[in-house]
Structures are given as C-alpha cells and as structure tokens.
Amino acid sequence: MAAALVLSACNKPAETPDAKAPADAPAATPGTAADHAFDGAINAADFAQHVKVLASDEFEGRAPGSVGEEKTVQYLEAQFKRLGLKPGNGDSYFQTVPMVETTADETTSLKLDVKGQPRELKFGNDMVVGTRTGQAEVKLEASDLVFVGYGVNAPEQKWNDYAGVDVKGKTVVILVNDPGFHSQDATLFEGRRMTYYGRWTYKFEEAARQGAAAALIVHDDAGASYGWDVVKNSWSGAQFDLPAKDDPEPRLPVQGWITGDSARKLLGDLGQNLDELYKAAGKRGFKAIPLQAKASVDLKSKISEKSSRNVIARLDGAKRPDEAIVYMAHWDHLGNHTGEGGHEGHGAGEGKAGGADTIYNGAIDNASGVAGILEIAEAFSKQTPPPDRSLLFVSVTLEESGLLGSKYYVAHPTVPLNKTVAVINLDAMPIIGKAKDFTVVGYGSSELEDILKTIADGQGRVLHAEATPQDGFYFRSDHFNFAKAGVPALYAKGGDDLLEGGTEAGQKAQVDYRDHRYHKPADQFDPNWKLDGVVQDLDALYSVGKVLAGNEQWPNWYEGNAFRAAHDKLMAAPAK
C-alpha cells in the first residue's frame, strides 16, 4: 500500500557505500530476538517474532534517518548474518540512498483570489502542499488556476487534457484516478481499474512536464482509495526525496492536495459545479477550463541532506551465481510523531495530550513483508540441494516517500537488471487466516503467474485480481520500479475468501484495516493474529523462487503487457 515513482534502469553495479553508522548514532539494538530459537522452516512463530521486534515501540516507527532506522538496519544485518548470507552490495549489507529531507512550515496557508474576493485555505484542514525543489523558500504569486480534468496526456489513448491550453507558470487543479473511474465508463482507459495515469505521482510529473508552477489534486475517498486523514498524515512533517541529480524527472515548485469540500466551495464560487466537472472530465474531447481565480503561497521549508539505507543480502547460486531472483520488502514506515515542533518520519502527529499514541509502528505495513523475506531467506539458506541461481534479499527504504529506495536500487543495481530473473515483492501481508484464493495485484501481467498458479493449485487455491483494481495498488509498491525497467515482477498475497467466514469475513477484515490501522498508530503487532494464512502464502512465494532458482527459465511479461517491450530491450542489451 503505498505510492509509486520510477527511474530508468542502469545496469552498472553500485559502488560500495560507506556502511558505517553516523558518529552520533545511538548504540545499535539489533537483537531483542536473541532469545528466540528460529526454525529453518517457514513458520508462524518466527514470522511473529520478526514483526514483534520490527514493529515495537523501541524501533519508533522505523522512519528513515531516525534512531528507528539505525535499529532496523542493524537488526536486518544481524538476521542476514545469522542465516549465513553474504553482503549483497560488495562487502557491505548496506546501500546508501541519498535523500533530501524537506519539512514544510505547517502554518503555511494557500491564499486565493476568487473573482477579486480573498480566500484562505489552511494547511492540514483544507489542503497540504510541499516542494520537491530542495529550496528553503518557494513563492507562488497570483498564479492563474486552470482546471485540467484528470491531468492526463496519453497519446496511445488519444487523450490529452492539456490540449489547447498553456499552463506555464499556472496552477493546475486535477482530479485523482482515471477518466473511466468516476464516469463508470469501461471504454475509457481500463474502466474502474486504475492505470498509472490515475496515480497522483504521474499527475504531478505531467504537470511539471507541461511547465505548471503548481498542481493541486482534488481529494475524494473513492478515487484516492483512502480518506483525507491518510493524505494529511502522509504530507505533513518531514518529506523525503532523492536529490535532483539522482532523479532526472521534472519537478513542480509547489504540489499538493485540496479537500473535496474545499474544491467544491472554490469551484462553486466560480460558477462551476464539481459533480458536473467530474462528468465533463470523464468524456473524450474534454477541454481544460481556465478559472477566474489566482493562487499565492509563501512556502517555507526546513531542508537538510541526509541518507538512508537499503539492506541487501545474497545467497550465491551453486551453478549460475551471476543470475539472481530478488525478494524484496520495504522496511520503512512513518516514524514517531512527537507533536513537539518536529516529527521523526512524516505525517501529522497526534501529539501527546491525554497519552495519545504517537508511534506509527507499521506492523502490517510493512514489518510483515520484511518478516516474510527473512522467513523465505531462512528457507533458502537451509535448502538441500542449494539453488542453482543466486537469491538476493533486498529490504528497501523510503517506500512511504514515493518508492525511493527501490527507485535508487533500480538505478544502481547490485546484480545487473538483465541478469535479474524476477522480482517477488512482499508488502502488507494479510494476517486474517487461510484463504481459498490468492490475490495477484496486477493480475494478467507476467509468466510468473503461471508458476504461481501451479503452486496455488497444489494448495487448493485459485488466483485472481485484486478486489479493488481502481485503487491502483500495482503502482503503489516497490516492484513497480522494476516493472518499468522491464524486470518481471510478482506482487501477490492471500485473498479474502477465507476458510472461516468466506469473502464477507475477508472483505470486512480488509476494510477494517484500511479504515482503522492503515497509516495510523493502531497498525501494531497483535499476538492474536491468525498467521496460518501468512505461512501458506510465504510457502507459495518461496516455491516460486525455488522453481526459478532451480531451472534456466527467463519469464517474460505476457504479450501485450506495457512492460514487455522494456523487458525485451533490457535482455537484448549486454550485461555491464
């Protein structure tokens, strides 16, 4: 569950970074699991132990650049060493990821001139804004507002919301999701199934390519697939980004979101009806609408250059060690929001009044995925005979900030991408019991699904797409950076047709997590979790890698998939 950006692949192995902790770092605490006797087989007790440690208050929500990061990466290094795995980045288990930390002043307001009448939107309640420029102060003065529908420029779809309008220096107002979503028109894009054009990341990128000075996305719960509190939590406090030199994509001076209520009132004051605009923007031939309003903001931010770390371990293959299967999961979460003038991590803190919980522990998102790759790594380390191909276990940072750790890895892979057979991603594992089904996010994408289907058949389970493809989960997790580079990627987890309670119970549990724990302090380890389903899922995902590591198959994307051309080009290039 997360956000997505992408960088084109570079097959040059990364230089070994300085793996030492900062001089002022606290003493590492890698081992509250030292008294736990781990089993070589994938099992619930070991999985639970890893999650319990990683999601403990001691790890403070695992924010990049925090004390929690130091404890997390040291714990992962200790576990990989315990398994006898080699460092995965030269002689280091760490890959340094440079980052710029930007913390916007939350007293910032967005000032509007609406037909000559002043209006003001408050940070957090009405809007959130930030900058990716790395500048301590960015000013937007009397920038004309333009409503550009869904903000999509897709030549292959014969769709361009920017046609006939010049938005250079202006502020574009954009709807979230795809044109086919709100209109319920299956003939537009992929209907309710979100494409990359529906992601907020794409919309900001395209606005920057068009020369806009600022972009504001109109939030709605259904289109975004989460409430305003998630936007507020994710955009408040410290934000992380790669330095501009490591990311050639264009950047907006100011970007952010406005609430649906704020947008509705603003447009109403301009003689526009938001509901009617949804309808108009969801039809071919929509033309952007200049608005009789101007936006101004004086955005001050604290800027600091820091670094975080991916953690990488390697198990050499016995016969073809230069070829590797990658298992990955992001270790970072939102940190500890102290409410005392500075947050570790990012998001709106709840403060300490009344003893409110300020630690975003991230047990399911994504201590569960990290625990999963540790369990799979343990199984491979004990496998007899050993795998023919190498296994790479990559726990990336900065996923919550836009998939930045995986983005950096794809640009600086420690195994060339055209020697990377496949990527298997674990993110937010279900802890609700065994299911009759297996959800493949982005179902119908690659030949990896053929391997998984055989394994799922043996478990008496069926594969299917995610229940809410309109939510765009395929573009919100780290495998997406590999997919854009052409590497076949699998993102699969237990479904919601539970053995106990069926789909009604499964969907209820998923909605309960989304509404009450996702990106909230309540995402904590619970000893009462039903983990038999996770064990079954991990067995299946381990088996996919076991098949690939034991043969010479090079899976591809299915014919017609958007990433197949990138894969074919990647495999035609000489390895570096």
| pLDDT tens-digit series, residues 114-152 | 999 999 999 999 999 999 999 999 999 999 999 999 999
Q: Are residues 70 and 124 in the same domain?
A: no
Q: Report residue 19's pLDDT band, with 50, 70 and 90 as the boundaries.
A: very low
Alpha helices in 26-125 (DSSP H): 44-54, 67-82
- The answer to whether residue 549 sits within a structural domain is yes
- The answer to whether residue 435 sits within a structural domain is yes
Q: Are residues 148 and 245 in the same domain?
A: yes
Alpha helices in 414-531 (DSSP H): 448-458, 479-485, 502-516
Q: Are residues 59 and 110 in the same domain?
A: no
pLDDT at residue 8, rounded to an integer: 29
- Name the pairing type of β-strands 137-147 and 254-258: unpaired
> What's the mean per-residue pLDDT of the chain?
90
pLDDT in tens, 58-82: 999 999 989 999 999 999 999 999 9
- Left (φ > 0), alpha (ψ -120 to 50) or beta: where does 189 sit? left
Q: Are residues 198 and 294 in the same domain?
A: yes
| Alpha-carbon span 63 to 344, nearest angstrom | 6
Which of 304, 335, 366 marks a domain boundary?
304
**Dihedral angle computed from the Cα positions of residues 235, 240, 244 and 248, in that order, rounded to the nearest 10 degrees:** -70
Tokens of 153: 């420029």
Cα–chain-centroid distance for residue 296? Answer: 31
pLDDT at residue 575, rounded to an integer: 63
Q: Are residues 261 and 330 in the same domain?
A: no
Q: Report residue 34's pLDDT band, with 50, 70 and 90 as the boundaries.
A: low
Considering its fold, how many domains does the chain have in total?
A: 2
Q: Report residue 453's pLDDT band, with 50, 70 and 90 as the boundaries.
A: very high
> What is the average per-residue pLDDT within 187-209?
91
Tokens of 137: 């102060």
- The answer to whether residue 17 sits within a structural domain is no
pLDDT in tens, 290-302: 999 999 999 999 9
pLDDT at residue 576, rounded to an integer: 57
pTM of the predicted protein model: 0.80
Out of 21-30, 337-346, 465-474, the most confident range is: 465-474
Least confident of 5-14, 202-211, 537-546: 5-14
Q: Report residue 24's pLDDT band, with 50, 70 and 90 as the boundaries.
A: very low
Q: Are residues 110 and 80 in the same domain?
A: no
CATH code at position 330: 3.40.630.10
| Alpha-carbon span 252 to 199, nearest angstrom | 16
Q: Are 554 and 421 in contact (CB under 8 A)?
A: yes
Q: Are residues 119 and 80 in the same domain?
A: no
Where in the sequence is the domain holding 128, given as residue range(s)? 102-304
Q: What are phi and psi of 260, to 5 degrees?
A: -60, -40
CA 432 vs CA 460, 492, 515: distances in Å: 18, 15, 16
Whether 4 has a pLDDT exceeding 80, the answer reads no
- The answer to whether residue 529 sits within a structural domain is yes
Alpha helices in 215-331 (DSSP H): 221-224, 228-235, 260-269, 274-281
**C-alpha radius of gyration, the chain, whole number:** 23
Q: Are 521 and 361 in contact (CB under 8 A)?
A: yes
- The answer to whether residue 338 sits within a structural domain is yes
pLDDT at residue 233, rounded to an integer: 85
Q: Are residues 73 and 176 in the same domain?
A: no
| Alpha-carbon span 391 to 541, nearest angstrom | 13
> What is the average per-residue pLDDT within 271-291?
96
CA angle 411, 238, 25 (to 5 degrees): 80
Least Cα distance to 397 among 468, 324, 311, 275 occurs for 311
Q: Are residues 382 and 404 in the same domain?
A: yes
Alpha helices in 395-478 (DSSP H): 404-411, 448-458
Q: Report residue 356's pLDDT band, with 50, 70 and 90 as the boundaries.
A: confident
- The answer to whether residue 72 sits within a structural domain is yes
Q: Are residues 287 and 358 in the same domain?
A: no
pLDDT at residue 169, rounded to an integer: 97
pLDDT in tens, 359-410: 999 999 999 999 999 999 999 999 999 999 999 999 999 999 889 999 999 9
- The answer to whether residue 18 sits within a structural domain is no
Q: Report residue 248's pLDDT band, with 50, 70 and 90 as the boundaries.
A: confident
Whether 497 has a pLDDT exceeding 70, the answer reads yes
